[in-house]
Amino acid sequence: MLDFFKDKRELTLLMAIALLFIAIVMSRSLSVSDLFIIYNSSQILMLLAIGATFVIITRNIDVSVGSTMGLSAVVCGTLMVHGSSVFVAILMALVVGLLCGIFNGIVVAVLRIPAIVATLGTLGLYKGIMLLITQGKWIEDLPNTIKVLSYNLLPNVNISGLFTLMMGILFYLLLSRSAHGRKFYAVGDNLQGARLMGVKTEQTIILAFAINGMMAAMAGMVFASQIGFIPNSTGNGMEMKAIAACVLGGISLLGGVGSLWGAILGAYFLTQIDTILVLLKFPAYWNNFIAGLIVIMVIVLDGRLRMMVQESIKAKKYSRFIHGGDQ
C-alpha cells in the first residue's frame, strides 16, 4: 500500500482536498458547485504556479513574479483606458511579461547572479515601473471587453477557467512528454551533467523564466477581468503563494523533481483553505494563521508518509540478504 504513495504528492493533495471539503459539507450546507467556485477563485494562483514550476525545476527561484503580474496588468489596463482594443492590450501585456521573464533569465543564466538576488532586484524594479506608470493611482473603469474572460462558457466554469485548464494540459505535456521538457529536469538535477549531455543550459534557464513571465502576465489579465479594476498593490505577495503551491505540490526547491499537476493542486488547496474560511465566517485576520497551520500539517504528514515508504522499500531491499545470512 505504501508503495502506491511513493512520489505521489498529487495523490496526497487530492486526499487532503477531498477530506477538507467533506468535513465542511458535514458541518454546513455546501454543494459540489462550490468546488467550481473555488476553482474559479484559484485560477490566478494556478497560472502563477504553472510558471513557477519551470523555474523551480531548473533549481532557481523567482520572487519578482508578483511584480511582473502587476506590471503586466497595469500595461493592459492603461492601454484599454486610453482607447486600445482589448486584443492589443492583452498582447502588449503578454509581451511585457515575456520581456520581464527573459530579463530575469539573462541576469541569472548569463550574468551568473544567484536567482534569489537577481529577482529580488527586479521585484523592486518592476514594481517601481508599475507605480511610475500609474503614478500610484488605481486604474478603474476598465472596459467590459476585458471582463468577458470571467463570463461562464459552461455551467460554473468561466472562459478563463477553461483557458487555465488548457495551459495546465499543454505545459504538463511539454514537461513530461517531450524531450524539451526533460531538459528542464536535467538542468535542475545536474547542471554540469546536462552540459556534458549537450543541453544548452543557459537557453533552458532563460526559457524557464520567460514562461514564468508569460504566465504571470496571463494571471494579471485574469485578475483584471475578475475584479474590473487594477489596484496599485496588484500582485503583492503572490510570489510567495506561488512558491508555496509548488512546494506543497511536491516541486523540490533543489530542482529536478516534481509534477506540474502537483503545483496546480497545491494552488487549488491553498485557495480552498481561504475560501472555506470565508464561508465559515472566520475573522479575516485569522486567515494567514490557519492557512499556514494547515499547510504545515499537510507537508509534515506527507513527509512522514514518504519516510515510511522509504523505510519500507529499504526493508524489502535488504530483507533477502538478512534472510540469506540466517540460513
Asked if residue 172 lies in contact with residue 261, where contact means CB atoms within 8 angstroms, the answer is yes
The residue among 233, 215, 187 whose CA lies nearest residue 58 is 187
Give the list of residues 6+ apart from residue 151 with CB closer than 8 angstroms, or none: 158, 159
Domain 2-315 belongs in CATH node 1.10.3470: yes
Q: What is the pLDDT along the chain (327 residues), one digit of tens a residue?
A: 555 555 556 666 667 666 766 666 565 556 667 778 888 889 999 999 999 999 999 999 999 999 999 999 999 999 999 988 999 999 999 999 999 999 999 999 999 999 999 999 999 999 999 999 999 899 988 888 888 888 887 777 889 999 999 999 999 999 988 988 999 999 998 999 999 989 999 999 999 999 999 999 999 999 999 988 999 999 998 998 898 888 888 888 888 888 899 899 889 988 888 877 777 777 877 877 877 777 677 667 666 766 776 777 677 767 666 655 555
CA 111 to chain CA centroid, Å, is 26
The beta strands (E) that lie in the chain are given as 152-154, 157-158
Domain ranges of the chain: 2-315
Q: What is the pLDDT of residue 130?
A: 95
Which residues partner with 158 through β-bridges? 152
Question: How far are the Cα atoms of 51, 57, 103, 173, 207 from residue 201, in angstroms, in the given order?
Answer: 18, 13, 16, 21, 10
Q: What is the pLDDT of residue 283?
A: 81
Cα separation of 81 and 71, whole Å?
15
The pTM for the full model equals: 0.87
Q: What is the pLDDT of residue 303?
A: 67
